[in-house]
Chains A and B, each alone.
Chain A
Amino acid sequence: MWEFIFRVLGRDNSSSRKHAKERLRLVLVHDRASISPYLMNRLKEDLIQVISNYMIIEEEEMELHLNQNDREVVLVANIPIKQIRRDYMERTQISL
């Protein structure tokens, strides 16, 4: 009953405006994130470089992709670690 009255009075919370904005936001995240394989590779290489300062990883096995669910788009990285660098503490301290 109340729902009906709210709708008649134009105060429906599920207004189509909000709907439109939310859908648009999501579709744009995806549009803007549909980056070229070239860029994805660059990102991968950069990640490998940074992570390698701290651990040794299986570069060949590394996976990087965008996942979309109803609410958001996330960058998913699956990076198998071979070994944690023992010297990373010392190295950080030196650089400090």
Chain B
Amino acid sequence: MGDTIVVTSGKGGVGKTTTTANLGTALAFAGFRVVLVDTDIGLRNLDVVMGLENRIVYDIVDVTSGNCRLKQALIKDKRFDSLYLLPAAQTKDKTAVSPDEMRYLCEDLQEEFDYVLIDCPAGIEQGFYNAIAGANKAIVVTTPEVSAVRDADRIIGLLESAELRNPKLIINRIRPRMVKHGDMMDIEDIVDILAIDLIGVIPEDEKIIVSTNKGEPAVMDVLSPAGEAYRRISKRIRGEEVPLMNLDVSNSIMDKLRRLVGMN
């Protein structure tokens, strides 16, 4: 039976959907059977990030309310035969699904797939509780900003009280140069504050925008630093030990100048 991992964050716009799409694609690339579940009912986006928006017939609410069978609603990925998407409903609201329905749905999916990845909506309302209801593991995504880390802390607390223990942390959109210049919190600062295990760090990468434009996850782009970071995280999910990506910035003129005046 497979793992059900919810990808959550509290704050919106920190990269939950991008993370879900990339990790799912990386796991499918490694040969696992993977299903991505979009639980952001009313604001679905995982379909466009995956480039599957034109193939949707049925959605998650059709499944939970019995309008169709589960298999009819699953959309096969363009690239990988072992990767599927269960899209969110766009015209309903978050109360259209209940936590119990999600639990049953995840149980059914776990029988067919090695990994069930759940893309959680932003916020801490019912959508959040639906998304975590069927999960046995959690990944918390944050960015190196005060607001995002604060919300992540709140989410970690809520996950704990929902008995989803040991959530793993992804720090997204880190800018090594800004960290070096003391203008961005670094990995250590954030891990120190949130006090949960780090499962990966993703550098800011313009290729993410390009890949989202095209509907092709960056993890398939060998030249994308963020793609590389996601590939490493997918290995850690599978239980491998992989070192963190080297995010050192090359020597800038400022570094040389600093060394010249003996400040380093």
List the interface of chain A (C-beta within 8 A of B).
Answer: 9-12, 15-18, 20-21, 23-25, 27-28, 31-32
CB-based contact A15/B182 at 8 Å: yes
Asked, given contacts A9-B257, A9-B258, whether A17 binds B186 with beta carbons under 8 Å apart, the answer is: yes
The count of residues in chain B whose C-beta lies closer than 8 Å to any C-beta of chain A is: 23
Please, which residues of chain A bring their CB within 8 A of the CB of B150?
Answer: 24, 27-28, 31
State the CA gap A56–B262 with chains docked (Å).
64
Interface string of B154-167 (1 = CB under 8 A from A): 10010000000000
Q: Can you pick out 15 interface pairs between chain A and chain B where the beta carbons lie within 8 Å of each other?
A: A9-B254, A9-B258, A10-B181, A10-B254, A10-B258, A15-B182, A17-B179, A17-B183, A17-B185, A20-B185, A21-B185, A21-B189, A24-B146, A28-B150, A28-B193
B149 located at the interface, meaning its Cβ lies under 8 Å from any Cβ of chain A in the complex: yes
Q: Among the listed B145, B154, B261, which residue makes an inter-chain contact with A9, where contact means beta carbons less than 8 Å apart?
A: B261
Please, which residues of chain A bring their CB within 8 A of the CB of B220?
Answer: none
A14 closest partner in B (C-beta): B182
Please, which residues of chain B bring their CB within 8 A of the CB of A15?
Answer: 181-183
CB-based contact A16/B183 at 8 Å: yes
State the CA gap A32–B150 with chains docked (Å).
10
CB-based contact A18/B146 at 8 Å: no
8 Å CB contacts to A: which residues of B177-219? 179-186, 189, 193
B263 located at the interface, meaning its Cβ lies under 8 Å from any Cβ of chain A in the complex: yes
Nearest 9 CB-CB pairs, A to B?
A: A15-B182, A10-B181, A17-B182, A21-B189, A24-B146, A16-B183, A20-B185, A20-B146, A28-B153
